[in-house]
Structure 1
Amino acid sequence: MITVKVERVRKKARLDESFEEDIQETIEEMIPFIESKIDEVYLNTDDTSIQSIINLGATEVIIGEFIKEQSNDEDDSVSLGVGPIKIGENSSSKNRMNRAKDFINDGWEKLKPYLKDEDPFYFGTMGG
């Protein structure tokens, strides 16, 4: 069972308490998906080192997803465009998206040794 704490996500993402409810929603959405990717042997292990690594990886994935959601919400009102000219394009939004991707990639990298073997579904044959 994966355990991700709102406070830990908030602190690692450098957010204030006003985001806690939204973070909790993201945790509740993401935990079942992440758990579905991890081999049952590791989800149910008594090895506290493995549990810690899985929890850390899941936390980082959730931080990245949360930052990405927040950046997407902010992007809706960031710029005004006329043709190819954009006014007010926000580079900090791009930085947040890069930071989100880094957290997601780092989290999945930590989880990699504990993931189930890839589904054959992903490796369908090309051609007929």
Structure 2
Amino acid sequence: MSASDQEAAEQRVQDAVRRHARTRAFAEAEDVITAVLADPGVQEARARVEASETELGMELCARLQPFQDRYDQAVAEGDAARLTGVCGGKHGRWGRICVLPDGHETSMEEPHWGRTSEGRPIAGVGSAPDDW
């Protein structure tokens, strides 16, 4: 075996070891996350948060529904200009984009608001663009 063949073989082994270590680390992290989320206290807290978000969403529905209507119309018409002005915040759990204008938290002082995939109004407060 030539020196270059030996170096190539060593590189393949090192790459395989790195892939294995990364795969194992992700699997271990997933196990820990699953255990934490399965905890009864965490499940109870999650249920309370979901109930509060749904209740707030219902309370704001009458006032903020026009934003949902404008969003739905922009989607139906493919109006990219109008869609780019929509808040970038979205709720990871509900998989729904906030339909209020970008900057609404400071200009309108409203929480993120939209509808779940089932059509229920939902509202929440937060700063992470992918999980309010």
Same fold (TM over 0.5): no
Greater strand content: 2
TM-score (normalizing by structure 2): 0.26
Larger radius of gyration: 2
Which structure has more RCO (C-alpha within 8 Å, separation ≥ 6)? 1
Structure with a larger share of its residues in helix: 1
